[in-house]
Amino acid sequence: MPNVMARDRRVIRKPPGARRGEASDVTREDILRADDRRKVWATRAKGGRLRLLWLLIGPGVLVMLGENDGPSMVSYATTGATYGIGFFIPFILLTFLMAFVVQEMTVRLGAATHRGHAQLIFERFGPFWGYFAMGDLVAGNLLTLVTEFIAIQAGGLYFGIPPWVSVACGVALVTASLAYRRYWTWERAVLALAAFNLLFIPAAFFAQPDGAALARAIATWRPLPGGITIAFVTLVLANVGATVTPWMIFFQQSAVVDKGLTAADLAQGRLDTAIGAAVAAAAAIATVVAAAPLFANHIDVTNFASGADFATALRPVLGKAGATLFALGMIEAGSVAAMTISTSSAYAMGETVHSRHSLNLSFHQGGLFYAVAIVSTLAAAAIVLIPGAPLLALVLTVNVIATLLMAPALLLLLLLVNDQEIMGAYANGWLSNLAGGTIAVLIAIVGAIYGVITVFPGLLGN
């Protein structure tokens, strides 16, 4: 297909064989995606593996670093400040392995069907389960978006920036990213910003961690100090919710479709997801390590209001440079997640109401798509500015809620990737089903335990 870049026109060029005066179905969205595919085909024909990976990388890295969001980094910091670098270091590695298993199924589903997750749920399971999944996503996304702006506000507070200014800048950033009206450009811009999630790694070095102790924690999975308590189970759920959440499934599948990935691209799609998981896990563990000095110094973080409190408390041990990196990392975490989560909501809404949904659309063509992303962002930003909100409690609670909502989302995903009619040769094998089913059962069990000890707190210690 010719590389036609006409802008903001629903009909760009008639397809071959179209009659004079006949409307064409070839749109600007189709042309832009076809141009991206042309580059992929040409690169694959030349055997350029690195360039091919560069062209196809994106959804996996974005979804993993997007999930290293404000509440996730606060959860990791709280974990480090509460338990040090023992039990939770290998546990976090396990959760990212779980995330890879889930998102690999998502990539395969999107590449095989060329349809978004919400659309497939409606088509295969009907309106009840479709609206159930959408309710799950909308509630989780709005709550999570609120916490992203808490992270942005918290990072700004460390630098003395008024909350409304930080929040306004966050809204402006999300809105400006949508103005590209080009999936490729949006993806590359968000990837560049997401790279700053790695700021937590040099921040961890300022904590002067004991490398031998860190290696022992990973290799031996040291027992938990203090035993199983409500606080421990809450942090377990918060850390699971920091890596495996429903919005990730909806976003990555829609992004795979919007990017135009096919079954031929599955190897690169899996590698993209694996790279994202590895980088995000490194940043997550670095956050635990950076906050571990608070545990060593017996500093109580239960009354911390936000990530700004963590950065301020860490300044005496990390120094000004380390604390500054931590605060900047919080701003990045909230910003990237706000961009990806708002887009996840927009994709899902478009699929639900059968409206056009792509970052390759003009504002006129994708009015509902862009409106959902912007309105959800504005609503979350407004909630954050409500005086007296319990910010740290809200941040941790959102990750717990995300974990509790994950079991039904995983069940629907497993049913879809086992659907031979739509998946064909790319349906789950026994090993994928065993891994996915185990993850779903474990998440359901942990959620049930949390529910029991919440209702009957006397079963465990304080």
| CATH number, domain with residue 343 | 1.20.1740.10
Lowest mean pLDDT among 71-80, 196-205, 235-244, 437-446: 235-244
| 288 inside domain | yes
| 388 inside domain | yes
pLDDT for the residue numbered 23: 44
| 46 inside domain | no
| 79 inside domain | yes
- Report residue 155 as tokens: 């990072």
State how far Cα 252 lies from the chain centre: 9
Residues 304 and 158: their CA atoms lie apart, in Å, by 13
- Tell me if 317 sits within 8 A of 296, measured CB to CB: no
Q: Which residues contact 432 (CB under 8 A, 6 or more apart)?
A: 101, 104, 105, 417
| 2 inside domain | no
Residues 428 and 285: their CA atoms lie apart, in Å, by 31
| 176 inside domain | yes
Q: What is the pLDDT of residues 309-356, one digit of tens each?
A: 888 888 988 999 999 999 999 999 999 999 999 999 999 999 988 888
99 vs 2: which has the higher pLDDT: 99
**Beta bridge mates, 461:** 229
The share of the chain scoring above pLDDT 70, in percent, equals 87
| 111 inside domain | yes
pLDDT for the residue numbered 456: 64
Residues 79 and 89: their CA atoms lie apart, in Å, by 10
Q: How confident is the model at residue 153 (pLDDT cuts 50, 70, 90)?
A: confident
Number of domains in the chain: 1
Helix (H) or strand (E) run with residue 376 in it: helix 367-384
Range of the domain at 443: 57-459
Other CB atoms within a 10 A radius of the CB of residue 81 amount to: 25
| 228 inside domain | yes
- Tell me if 235 sits within 8 A of 78, measured CB to CB: yes
